[in-house]
Each structure stands twice: as C-alpha cells, then as structure tokens.
Chains A and B, each alone.
Chain A
Amino acid sequence: MSDLKQELKEKIIEQLNLEDITADEIADNDPLFGDGLGLDSIDALELIVMLDKDYGIKLADPKEGRKIFESIDSMAAYISAHKA
C-alpha cells in the first residue's frame, strides 16, 4: 500500500503540473482539494482519467470522486479495492 501511495503522489505531481512540490511534502491524509494541495475541478477530471488509464478503474458517477479523491489514503484504498 505504501508503494501505491508513493506512486500516486508522484503521478499527481507530474500529471497535474504541481511545480515546486515533492512527493515527500504530501502527507497521506492531506486534503487534495481546498486548503490542501489546492486542486480544482479540472484536476478532478484529470484524476478520473488517471484512474481509468493507469488502473483500469472507470468511475460511472463522477460524484463518487468527492470521497475517493479526499486524500492519498482514500485514493489508495479505493484503487486497492477496485483495481482491474
């Protein structure tokens, strides 16, 4: 699980162009949106594409993303449970 969390941090930094942030600076339970990493609605869509492309997980209802993308912890837990 810790490998997956590290991988997610690195993917998020690269795919969302989070310049000047390193994986070490993102805590597993940091909020990804709002006051945390400050991601926005376009970033949320980008994370949905990332789930599909890299883990074979399709979100039928984008509203599900709200819970899944709360933090690295919640993303890793969801991917572990649903990975194709």
Chain B
Amino acid sequence: MSNTYYIESFSHVKNGTVYVNGEAIFKTLETDFKSVMKAAYKNLIVDYPKFFKMDNLSKLGVRAAEVLLKEESEKNMAMVFSNRASSLDTDRGYQDSIKDPTQYYPSPAVFVYTLANILMGEISIKHKIYSENCFFITEEFFPETLSPYTTQLLDEKKAEKVICGWVDVDNGKYNAFLYVVAKKGTFVHSDAEINRLYKTINE
C-alpha cells in the first residue's frame, strides 16, 4: 500500500502566458515562440544567458520549472516528464542544417539538444538537482503514465519530491504543465486531480 502524496504547486506555459497555481503571472502579446520566450526570460529569469543557447524544448521546460523551483530548497528532487513530439522540433532543424552534402557542417550546439531528456539536464544544472529522472513519450498528456513511477520514487525514498508533467514543442506550438509532488501540499496526488489541474488552462 503506497502512501498518499500531494501536489505542492503547479505551472502552465501556454499562449504567451505563464501561470502559477492557475493564476497568470506573466502575459505577452508576442505570438511566435522565440519572442514569447525572450519576453518571459526578461520578465522572470534573472541573469542566465545560457537560456538563449537552449533549444525550444529546453527553453519551455526551464521557463515552466523556474516559477516552481526558484524558491525551492529541496535538492533531492526527481523528475518525471513527458511529451508527444520528443525532440522532433530540434531534430528537424538539425536535419535541415546538414542536408546539403556540400555544406556539411554539423553544429555541436544544435546536435546536443536532439534528445528530449536534455531539458531535464538543463533544469538540473540550473537548480543543482542531482536525483533520478525519466522522460516518457505519449500521444497526449496522460497522468496514468507518470503517477505510478512518481509514487514509487517517493515510497522507496529515492527522492523527497518529484517534479512531473508535460513539456511539448512542435512547429511553433507549445504547451507546458509541471507540478511538484511532495509529502505535503494542497491537492491530492491522484490521476483525476492531476487531470483537473492540467485542464484548468488546457480546456
């Protein structure tokens, strides 16, 4: 019998808006992804120029995680993420950059992001998190994939907290929903409750 855990806080990034616990804390009228991320960086992330070297997926994940982790002191935190497009958005750009055999100069800075789980590495570096992580690829957001693993990590004391959710970028469309699971919190960590929080912005 596993313990009951709780969702401490959650964030969404969608349609030029960053939400924390369902409340919009930043909104821009920019529409293209790059401009949205630049505006959100200037408003919410202090002095972290590495942000601009990241691919779109990492930028979105770092942005969504920042509002949950900037005041977080717990470093024994696991990550359980998911999305639909994996790193396809970056893979396409990389493929496009090397398709001409007469101009074959593969970019190391682009290549390093051709894996979805690099975004968890970027969050780990920024917030000095060293614990376990796992990235699932599913057709749509499906908490039933994430919650058993999250519960097991906490039950087995592999982590004190787990940051979970969905970070997806593909062809200019983007959507992020992250939440922190802990021993204490506001919402019960159940599939129904996770779905409800996800849909507060995604209905």
Contacts and interface: CB of A to CB of B under 8 A. Distances in A.
Q: Which of A16, A38, A42, A52 has the most CB of B within 10 A?
A: A42
A43 B112 CA distance: 11
A25 interface: no
A17 B37 CA distance: 14
A11 to B, nearest CB: 13
Interface string A48-64: 01001100000000000
Contact of B109 (A38, A42, A53): A42
Given A18-B49, A20-B49, A46 B105 contact: no
Contact of B49 (A38, A46, A52): A38
B49 A43 contact: no
A17 B55 CA distance: 11
Main secondary structure of the interface of B (DSSP, over half): helix
Interface residues of B, number: 11
Interface residues of A, number: 14
A45 B108 contact: yes
Interface in A7-57: 15-20, 38, 42-43, 45-46, 49, 52-53
B93 interface: no
A52 B182 CA distance: 50
Interface of B: 38, 49, 52-53, 103, 105-109, 112
Given A15-B109, A43-B109, 13 more contacts: A16-B109, A17-B53, A17-B109, A20-B49, A42-B53, A42-B109, A42-B112, A45-B108, A46-B107, A46-B109, A49-B106, A52-B105, A53-B105
Top 6 A-B residue pairs of the complex, sorted by shortest distance between their CB atoms: A45-B108, A19-B52, A53-B105, A17-B52, A17-B53, A46-B109
